């Protein structure tokens, strides 16, 4: 593998778009939640591992998550990453109670904005918010975008088992659409009433449960009609679209069959008729966690080369070899540049 | 679209491999379960719809499910289907109590065997069993294959929330391996402790919940080490592999990361090292519900052209147009013949 360098020598800059951090205050809040008797079981599995396991993997993630300085920059240099688009790690503020979530979202945004101001050529930030308080969330998104220079919003999937398909959360969509910033719908473990069998099998996390949870969330948003109310809203999904591109035919067929037969009285026809129309017009997809050309090409062919972006998933998955694998993809040079650089520049208004 | 005919005029016979039926006795048992206060919520959503909705879709499915004669044959003729490989519809016997499940599995197999004997050139059967009683299930599989001529076994995913990854069910694997018949792992709705949020959103059925449930089940079987114990066992997944082919890179990466860091002490290294090795060597995939060349080609490229088979999903999804779409795929003629005919002939020992 050739040495990885920043600076665009390979014909494009590498902009990694699903990169995580956690301020120490959030880690301490997680510690307190982990000590509770009624801790959410998916959270306990996830953060109990990353905060308390003595394994090399957990300790490396724990340390790197909290750094927005020298170690992160050195890791980026060693992997040839020119820029990270950074968001608070899952589940972000969304495991906290309402008031703590509100306060933490402000702290996260202030902290991330400071780091981005220190390293404007290397870091871009996504706004955190606390959906527990939709009105505050909308205001905090406005502050983070207008005052702090954030270029997107991150939502770490469900909030105490509730989903953005519920209109009570739509002030968040309204703010994102009005400010013209995308929402990155990032995984967390499924909620209490979905995660049980997955925990039993050790499949609740990134291996399977994350994808179920986040694909489910995206599909709920589509079938709720939210995009008919907010037609310019754009949502970013990692992990090659959480398998939704591969499911498109079945989603279209079964949504249509269900609506026509009125199986669920609350499930109504959509303006664009097909679920896949929304996937193609209201979603961007990153390859976080999936350094694999066949799935990337599939998504490019189905969703569009202008809607598939590079992501590393630092610090959870960051082997330099994966950058080499992706550099070596047999895509036309202009498509590779879209993938690594220009799609992100357009979506996050970087250029 | 050219008129659809049986007989192989297009260069191959069409063998549909995930086709469903339900004897009236099973329907009546379902009716009694639907009347209970403690009915399984996923079952209530699924069979409550198909047995009680006045919609055209539900009524057509309800009628066709119970026919193993003239209507089914006429539907096959009109769609150019030379042969159906037929199994009891999900959830089969698996929603019944143990004794009822045992008795019902014998009735189902007798009834299906009679139909196959009446129409040996059109129907092939898959054995039902009641995993509620693993020892009986193994014996019934033996009877159905050796005495009744069944060519595979159907398992309609979980049994009262339990999965075949549990070694108590492994007499079923042992019997299937010894008899050299594949197990078709067919969807049903997710169990009570997983289905809640999906029901709330109307996404518990074929549109989403089925795939989650069945992909999850297959992954549990792989990670349990069952294939290391039964290396010749073959499992068939419908619906383009329930998205597992698209997830392969992430499954491999995260399984390896989880095992190395001992996140779940019960999750052990696998002999073949990667989850994807099992998907490529112990699984067949059908396109039931997915008349879509891009996903079919993806699975052929990743799992192998000799492991991807045609299925219609009668009577749940049987528009003749889908046969025309698949006839028109831009695959080499020999690959199309493998897909529609010869892979099924080999797997189900038809030729």
**How distant is the Cα of B193 from the closest Cα of chain A, in angstroms?**
6
User: Is A10 part of any domain?
Assistant: no
**How distant is the Cα of B281 from the closest Cα of chain A, in angstroms?**
19
pLDDT surpasses 90 at A351:
no
pLDDT at B108: 98
- Name every chain B residue with its beta carbon within 8 A of the beta carbon of A211: 247, 250
- Name every chain B residue with its beta carbon within 8 A of the beta carbon of A268: none
User: Is B6 part of any domain?
Assistant: no
Query: Shortest CB distance from A202 goes to which of B56, B223, B250?
Result: B223
User: Is B320 part of any domain?
Assistant: yes
Is the Cβ pair B263, A202 closer than 8 Å? yes
User: Is B9 part of any domain?
Assistant: no
Nearest to A224 by CA among A187, A263, A188, A269: A269
User: Is B142 part of any domain?
Assistant: yes
3-state secondary structure of A251: helix
A207: its two tokens: 């291996």
Is the Cβ pair A243, B247 closer than 8 Å? yes
**How distant is the Cα of A167 from the closest Cα of chain B, in angstroms?**
13
Nearest CA in chain A to B289: A250
Which pLDDT tens digit goes with each residue over A62-105?
999 999 999 999 999 999 999 999 999 999 999 999 999 999 99
Query: Shortest CB distance from A206 goes to which of B206, B248, B254?
Result: B254
Cis before A56 (ω within 30): no
From the centroid of its chain, how far is CA B195?
20
Quote ipTM for the complex: 0.97
pLDDT surpasses 90 at A139:
yes
Which pLDDT tens digit goes with each residue over A288-330?
999 999 999 999 999 999 999 999 999 999 999 999 999 999 9
Which pLDDT tens digit goes with each residue over A157-189?
999 999 999 999 999 999 999 999 999 999 999
- To test the contact with chain B by mutation, choose from A250, A287, A295, A312 the residue with the greatest count of B C-beta atoms within 10 A, namely A250
A341: CB partners within 8 A, 6+ apart: A8, A12, A13, A14, A15
Is the Cβ pair B294, A298 closer than 8 Å? yes
pLDDT at B351: 77
User: Is A8 part of any domain?
Assistant: no
Nearest CA in chain B to A300: B294
Query: Alpha-carbon distance B143 to A57, whole Å?
Result: 50
φ/ψ of residue A347, rounded to 5:
-65, -40
Residues with pLDDT less than 70, chain B:
1-2
User: Is B3 part of any domain?
Assistant: no
Is the Cβ pair B253, A203 closer than 8 Å? no
pLDDT at A301: 98
Mean pLDDT, all residues of chain A:
97
A168: CB partners within 8 A, 6+ apart: A134
Nearest to B20 by CA among B80, B70, B72, B74: B72
- Name every chain B residue with its beta carbon within 8 A of the beta carbon of A217: none
Which pLDDT tens digit goes with each residue over B43-77?
999 999 999 999 999 999 999 999 999 999 999 99
Annotated catalytic residue B313: yes
Q: List the catalytic residue out of B97, B166, B313, B327.
A: B313
Is the Cβ pair A219, B239 closer than 8 Å? no
Q: Please check whether residue B142 is in contact with residue B179, taking contact to mean a CB–CB distance below 8 angstroms.
A: yes
CATH of the domain at B175: 3.20.20.140
Pairing label, strands A15-21, A83-88 = parallel
Query: Shortest CB distance from A295 goes to which of B194, B198, B246?
Result: B246
Sign of CA dihedral B235, B241, B244, B248: positive
Tally the domains of chain B: 1
Tell me the CA distances in angstroms from B341 to A40, A79, A337, A351, B89, one per residue in order: 49, 48, 43, 54, 23
**How distant is the Cα of A269 from the closest Cα of chain B, in angstroms?**
13
- Name every chain A residue with its beta carbon within 8 A of the beta carbon of B216: 197-198, 201, 203, 208, 212
Q: What is the residue range of B195's domain?
A: 15-346
pLDDT at B35: 97
Residue percentage of chain A with pLDDT more than 70? 99
Residue A1's pLDDT band (cuts 50, 70, 90): low
User: Is B169 part of any domain?
Assistant: yes
Is the Cβ pair B55, A301 closer than 8 Å? no
pLDDT at B1: 63
Query: Shortest CB distance from A219 goes to which of B53, B203, B257?
Result: B203
Query: Shortest CB distance from B298 goes to which of A224, A267, A298?
Result: A298
Kindly report the CA angle at A315 between A312 and A319, in degrees rounded to 5?
Answer: 60
What stretches of B147-238 show up as alpha helix (H) in DSSP? 170-179, 192-201, 209-223, 226-229
Task: Please state the pTM of the whole predicted model.
Answer: 0.98
């Amino acid at each position: 593998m050739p040495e990885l360098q920043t600076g665009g020598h390979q014909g494009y800059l590498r902009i990694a778009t699903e990169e995580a951090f956690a301020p120490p205050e959030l880690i301490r809040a997680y510690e307190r939640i982990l000590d509770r008797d009624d801790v959410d079981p998916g959270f306990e599995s996830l953060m109990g591992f990353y905060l308390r396991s003595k394994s090399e993997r957990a300790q490396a993630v724990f340390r790197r998550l909290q750094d927005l300085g020298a170690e992160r920059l050195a890791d980026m240099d060693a992997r040839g990453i020119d820029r990270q688009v950074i968001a608070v790690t899952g589940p972000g503020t969304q495991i906290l109670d309402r008031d703590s979530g509100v306060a933490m979202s402000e702290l996260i945004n202030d902290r991330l904005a400071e780091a981005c101001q220190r390293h404007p050529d290397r870091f871009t930030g996504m706004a955190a918010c606390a959906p527990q308080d939709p009105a505050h969330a909308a205001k905090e998104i406005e502050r983070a975008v207008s005052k702090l220079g954030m270029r997107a919003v991150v939502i770490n999937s469900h909030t105490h088992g509730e989903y953005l398909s519920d209109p009570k959360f739509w002030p968040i969509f309204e703010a994102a659409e009005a400010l013209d910033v995308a929402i990155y719908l990032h995984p967390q473990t499924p909620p209490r009433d979905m995660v049980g069998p997955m925990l039993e099998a050790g499949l609740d996390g990134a291996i399977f449960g994350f994808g179920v949870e986040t694909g489910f969330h995206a599909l709920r948003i589509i079938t709720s009609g939210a995009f008919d109310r907010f037609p310019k809203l754009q949502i970013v999904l990692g992990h090659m679209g959480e398998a939704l591109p591969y499911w498109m035919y079945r989603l279209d067929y079964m949504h249509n069959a269900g609506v026509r037969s009125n199986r669920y009285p609350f499930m109504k026809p959509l303006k664009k008729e097909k679920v896949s129309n929304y996937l193609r017009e209201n979603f961007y997809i990153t390859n976080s966690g999936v350094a694999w050309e066949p799935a990337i090409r599939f998504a490019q062919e189905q969703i569009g080369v202008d809607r598939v972006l590079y992501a590393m998933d630092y610090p959870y998955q960051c082997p330099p070899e994966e950058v080499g694998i992706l550099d070596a993809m047999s895509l036309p040079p202009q498509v590779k540049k879209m993938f690594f650089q220009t799609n992100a520049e357009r979506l996050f208004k970087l250029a």
